[in-house]
Amino acid sequence: MRRMTGAGVCVAAVVAAVGGAAPGAGAADGPRAGLAYHGWAGLSAGRVDLRFTPRNDGPTAVAESVVRLHWSQPLADRQELPEACARAGERLLTCRVGALGGHRAGERIALRVLLRGAPTEVSLEFETAGSGAAVDGDRQRVLVLDTGDTYAF
């Protein structure tokens, strides 16, 4: 794994600015789950290596959740995905996150995604679909450039 360069630090800063929920969001509705995803991604010749760990930063447990991965570029027709993940459209994958207790991290999810062609950049949006509990922070965006670097988020 390569270290993040100056460009990667800039991308991470952009992700922090657009991802996650505002502090105190939903406070009037009572305790909520606050799911976020932390990890890294790298793009090279149309292949994205992605590793992330879901984390519930809120006080409320989530009985079951799924993360939807929306890609800005179309996915290649053939994908080899982990058992917890499935293709749900031309630019959409879903991965089962499972149950997460309050203030707990889930299991790391690792996948390699093939994009159609060889784009020089791809943006990826994480969207959480929770079951049973109200969930904050349901969208998080990551921009990955084909620089050979890994980008942390």
- pLDDT per residue as tens digits for the range 39-80: 999 999 999 999 999 999 999 998 899 999 999 999 999 999
Q: Which helix (H) or strand (E) holds 8?
A: helix 6-18
Percent residues over pLDDT 70 in the chain: 73
Q: Rounded mean pLDDT of the chain?
A: 82
More confident residue, 12 or 61: 61
Instruction: Quote the DSSP letter at residue 75.
Output: B
Q: Residue 102 burial by CB count (10 A; 0-12/13-18/19+): exposed, middle or buried?
A: middle
Residue 9: per-residue pLDDT: 37
Q: Could you give the CA distance from residue 84 to residue 73 in angstroms, rounded to a whole number?
A: 22
Q: Could you give the CA distance from residue 37 to residue 89 in angstroms, rounded to a whole number?
A: 21
| pLDDT confidence bin for 129, thresholds 50/70/90 | confident
Residue 20: per-residue pLDDT: 40
Is 18:120 a contact under the CB 8 Å cutoff? no
Residue 100: per-residue pLDDT: 92
Which of these, 98, 107, 104, 86, lies nearest to 129 by C-alpha position?
98
Residue 148: per-residue pLDDT: 87
Percent residues over pLDDT 90 in the chain: 66
Question: Residue 90 corresponds to which amino acid?
Answer: E
Residue 137: per-residue pLDDT: 53
Residue 31: per-residue pLDDT: 60
Residue 80: per-residue pLDDT: 97
- pLDDT per residue as tens digits for the range 86-103: 999 999 999 999 999 999
Structure tokens at 4: 């993040």
